Amino acid sequence: DTLLAPGQLWSRALQVMDDPLPSSCEHVRRGAGMHCLVYESIWHVIDHVQQKKDSSNTVDVEIAWQRCSALATHPPFGGMWQLKSFAQCALFPALVSMLLALQGCDHLAQVQTVVSNAVSDVKHEVESLLPGSNQTKKEVRMQNGFLQPSNSQPSARMNDNAQDQEDAIPLAATSWSGGPRLLMEVSPVGANGGLLPAQRLVVDTGSSTLAFCQSSFLQEAAYQETNFISCNLYNPGGSFTGYWGPFVAGQLHAGSVTFQNSFYSIMVQEAGMPCRNGIDGIFGIAFRQLDVAYPADERPDFGSNEGAECPEAVQVLPPPMIQKLRSRGGVEKLGIYWSGQLGENQGMLYLDNAAVTNEHYDKSSMVGPAVLGEVGWYDIAVQKMSVGDQEFTGFGCAPSSGQQCIMDTGTPSLVLPAEVFDSAVQLIDFGESATLTFWLPGISGEAVAVSFDLQALNTMGALSKAGEGTNLILGLPLWAFYYTVFDISGQSVSFIRQTQAPTQETPWESEPIEPTEPLEPPLNPTEPSEPSPGPFQPFQPGPWVPIPRHEPGSLPAPESPLEPFGPFQIIFEETANSSAPGEGRRMEELPVHV
């Protein structure tokens, strides 16, 4: 009830920090491996604001950080603890946020961003350590108030139905650079408070950064600057493809969904990116490991294209889509639908409960759920593949070693290993009816079969042979046959077979695609775009390159620069391959730079 003076605020905060934490809170911090993320972030903001408002009471952030680091490196806790300890740990940063708001903090948006992401990360780390199956975890969360039974309150269900309608984002489909692409209209908030013109962005589950081509947004959009840039290079071994631009934080709108305090990039230089023919950028909706940030004072030069490189990575940032899902708590689901046709409103993206309550979700037609990994990409394990009566094994599917098996809407074909592709071509040439099947490990332990009619794939021209460095990619044609639901909190993916799989030819190549040198898209957007293998066909993810001085499974994570939003720690689990049955825990957070 009392408005604290700045000096009192810092004194009170110091007093709280000096008090011993509850033992359960220590357990959360050690067991979840958070390295005092919440405390370090809040202390950084306190120090940053305090230096401007009350220079006479300096908070020694370095001492606080060292103390936190020492605690975090203690041996893991023993014994059981309850989720209520999470609330005790989160209480302090939440109170600090409110107090700073009362003080008229100039950096309140930074505080809110840090707190919301840090608290969400702590919650997920805590839940991931609960013993038992995913069902057991759900029951524990319900007991602790994180979830309510779906049949407990009829009025809540009515509200959920209204919310479901708000959680559906329409998607268009177009042909670009030799294949189909899903597009989402996204608008940043302008400096005058209104929405800037909607930009049509390629929806890409194979990357994590949202980047606008429209460089004028640097002057027109309302955002907070950061000390980071985004720099992405694609198409290794092919024509130079990539961009760089500053990372900013601001509000975005897509359909009826609002993305608050989201990190996105505005391209300053680009080459070969989807910035022509009615496409205005890319919306990566994969995980944080791919949303890599670089120092803003080390800007690359893409003027000559060839030989350009990104600087040394120093940070990873929360992608807007994953941040949106995490901010809500509870079960996180993402549903992707595509009709298989080109045009407006040919697809939908569903968030949370809407993913399993829409017209495309038919549990009786569901295949799976299969184990889903989250090492940057939506990665899967492929135990074997069959083409007709021929079987193939030994695909590896280990993202940390560069053997990715991923689900990627940004790749316009099913990219098959050479021997599988050659076998499929033989059957196609003979005119034989056959089925192409991917066998994935299921959550229940049983194999999950995801099958396609080989002749239908050939009619669509939806097959590609993997080039060097590429393992296996279930690209956009997958969604022409299956509606997919990613259960992120459950580490699984379900496939719902569409009642009418596409039979007509779409603007893929009419023949199976051999790997070729990608061609640069035409510079003049008024010229008709001829189908040709472009820089995203297929996308060739290479072995991950870790942030310097950091190897998988090693702790502690590298120290990140504290300006301007505080650290978003990179944390690993010892299980380096999430795709094995029963090992579907989150991989948080393996840095991947492509």
Q: What span, in angstroms and rounded, lies between the C-alpha atoms of 247 and 231?
A: 10
Return the pLDDT at 354: 92
How far is the CA of 488 from the CAs of 104, 305, 330, 375, in angstroms? 37, 37, 11, 12
94-98 long-range CB contacts below 8 Å, 24 or more apart? 94/119, 96/13, 96/42, 96/45, 96/46, 97/42
Distance (Å, rounded) from C-alpha 203 to C-alpha 530?
21
Kindly state whether residue 223 falls inside one of the protein's structural domains.
no
Q: What pLDDT was estimated at residue 393?
A: 87
Selection from 100, 122, 120 nearest residue 109 by Cα: 100
> Which three-class secondary structure state does DSSP give residue 402?
coil
**DSSP tag of 513:** B
Rg over CA atoms, the chain: 24
Is the Cβ–Cβ distance between 560 and 567 less than 8 Å?
Answer: yes
Confidence (pLDDT) at 309 = 82
- Predicted confidence at residue 433, as pLDDT, reads 84
- Residue 79 resides in a domain: yes
Determine contact, residues 485/355, Cβ cutoff 8 Å: yes
Sheet containing 390-393: which strands, arranged edge to edge?
A: 390-393, 384-387, 435-441, 447-453
d(CA 553, CA 570): 11
What span, in angstroms and rounded, lies between the C-alpha atoms of 453 and 61?
Answer: 61
Position 441 in a domain: no
Asked if the structure places residue 192 within a domain, the reply is: no
* Residue found by looking up tokens 């407990």 in the block: 152
User: DSSP for 420-466?
Assistant: HHHHHHHHHHTT---EEEEEEEBTTSSEEEEEEEHHHHHHHT-EEE-
277 in a structural domain: no
- Rounded Cα distance, 253 and 201, in Å: 12
Does residue 204 fall inside a structural domain?
A: no
- Rounded to the nearest 5°, which phi and psi values hold at 374? -135, 45
Whether residue 74 lies inside any domain: the answer is: yes
**Domain of residue 38, residue span:** 6-143
Q: What is the pLDDT along the chain (594 residues), one digit of tens a residue?
A: 344 444 444 444 444 444 444 444 443 333 333 334 444 445 444 555 445 444 444 444 444 444 444 434 343 333 333 333 344 444 555 555 554 544 444 444 444 554 555 555 544 444 444 444 344 333 333 333 333 333 334 344 434 444 555 689 999 999 987 789 999 999 999 989 899 999 999 999 888 889 999 888 888 899 998 999 999 887 666 677 888 999 999 999 999 899 998 999 999 988 888 898 889 999 998 877 777 889 888 888 877 666 678 888 888 888 888 888 888 766 688 999 999 999 999 999 999 899 999 999 999 899 989 988 766 678 888 889 999 889 998 887 765 556 778 889 988 989 888 899 999 998 988 887 889 999 998 988 889 999 999 989 988 888 988 876 567 888 999 999 999 999 888 888 999 998 765 544 444 443 444 443 333 333 333 333 333 333 333 333 333 333 232 222 222 222 222 222 222 222 222 223 333 333 322 222 222 322
Is the residue at 98 inside a domain?
yes
Query: What's the pLDDT at 396?
Result: 76
Task: Return d(Cα 47, Cα 465) in angstroms, integer.
Answer: 54
Split into its structural domains, the chain has a count of 1
